[in-house]
Amino acid sequence: MILELKNIEKAFGQKRVLSGVSFRAESGKAFGLLGRNGAGKTTSIRILMDVFPADSGEVLIDGKPIDYNKIQIGYLPEERGLYPKKLIIDQLVYFAELKGMSKREAVKSVDYWLQRLNMTEYRGKRLDTLSKGNQQKIQLITALAHNPDIIILDEPFSGLDPVNAMLLKDVVKEQIKKGKIVLFSSHQMNYIEEFCDSIAILNSGKTALSGDLHDIKRGYVRDRLAVRTECADKIKSDFKENCSTAENGELIIKLSSADNKRSVMKQLVENYDIDEVRVYEPSLNDIFVEYAGNEGVKENEAVR
C-alpha cells in the first residue's frame, strides 16, 4: 500500500499554511514527517486524517483517492485527548467502538494491548491516577486497538522512561513488520533516524526535502572522514585546520577532495592508533538544520 499527499494547498483566511506539500509513504516502512513548529506538519496530518479538507491537492492510496470507509487510521496526538476522570477500560473500549469495532471485539483488543504494554493492573483505574508515561501508553492503545492500516505517531516517546521507550520501539517494529504504514512526527531525530526509511522535511508550508533517508545521505559530497582514536591531540596537531571535533568526540577530517579518502585512511591507519575510520555522513539532525533551520525553503528546493 502506498500513501501519497500530492500538491496539498491549505489556507485559513488570508494565511496560507500549506503550499504544494507532497510526500509518499509505503506499507511495511516507517516515514518521518519533520519540520519546525509552524512548518505545516499538524495541518498536513489533519488533512490526511480527513479532519478538514485541503483547498486543493489529493490524498491517495495506491494512486486512487483514499476511501476513509475502508482505510483505518490510528492517531497518537502529541497532546493527550483522553478523559482524566473516566475509567481506562471504559474509554478505551468506547474509542475502539467509534472506529467500528463491536463491543466484544473492542474489549478483546483492549485487553490484549493492556497486557502487551504491561498495563493490565490499571484496567479499572481512572486515567488521572497514572504517571505521565503510563498515560502515554494508554493513549497509544487508542491508536492501535482497532488494528489500523495507517498509524500516525506524534511525539510518541514523550514522557517515556528508557524501559517504556524500548517497549514502544518493539511495538512499532511489530506494526511495521505487519505491513502497516507508520508515520512519525517528532523533534527527536535519533528515533526518526532509527526507524524511518524515508522522510519529508517541511519548511514554511512547503516540502523542502523528501525521499529515502539513505539516498539523501549518500547524496552529500563524501569529502570528510570520521575518526575514533586515542591519538586525537596528535592528529589534530598534524591536520590543523582540516580537523575538528564532533559532539560525540569523534574527529572530523576535511579532505581536499573526495578522491583522496582512501589515501588519507591509509595514512591514518599506518601512522596513528586508530579504533575506527569511515566516510562521514551527515546525521539527520544536520540535514534537518540545513533544510528547516532557515526562514524559508532553500531556493534550489530539493525534493529527492
Q: Where would I find the H helices in the chain?
A: 41-48, 88-98, 103-116, 132-144, 162-177, 189-195, 213-218, 232-239, 261-271, 284-292
Q: What is the mean pLDDT of the chain?
A: 90
Residue 145 CA to its chain's centroid (Å): 21
Q: Count the neighbouring beta carbons within 10 Å of the beta carbon of residue 280.
A: 22
Q: What is the pLDDT of residue 294?
A: 62
Instruction: Check whether 302 has a pLDDT greater than 70.
Output: no
Instruction: Check whether 300 has a pLDDT greater than 60.
Output: no
Q: Are 43 and 17 in contact (CB under 8 A)?
A: yes
Task: Name the amino acid, one letter, at 221.
Answer: V
Q: Could you write out the DSSP letters of every residue in 192-224?
A: HHHHEEEEEEEETTEEEEEEEHHHHHHTS---E
Question: What's the pLDDT tens digit per position in 175-189?
Answer: 999 999 999 998 888
Question: What's the pLDDT tens digit per position in 202-222?
Answer: 999 999 999 999 999 888 888
Per-residue pLDDT, averaged over 88-104, amounts to 95
Q: What is the pTM of this model?
A: 0.84
CA dist 9 and 53 (Å) reads 10
Cell numbers that stand for 60 in this block: 491517495
Instruction: Check whether 125 has a pLDDT greater than 60.
Output: yes
Instruction: Check whether 56 has a pLDDT greater than 80.
Output: yes
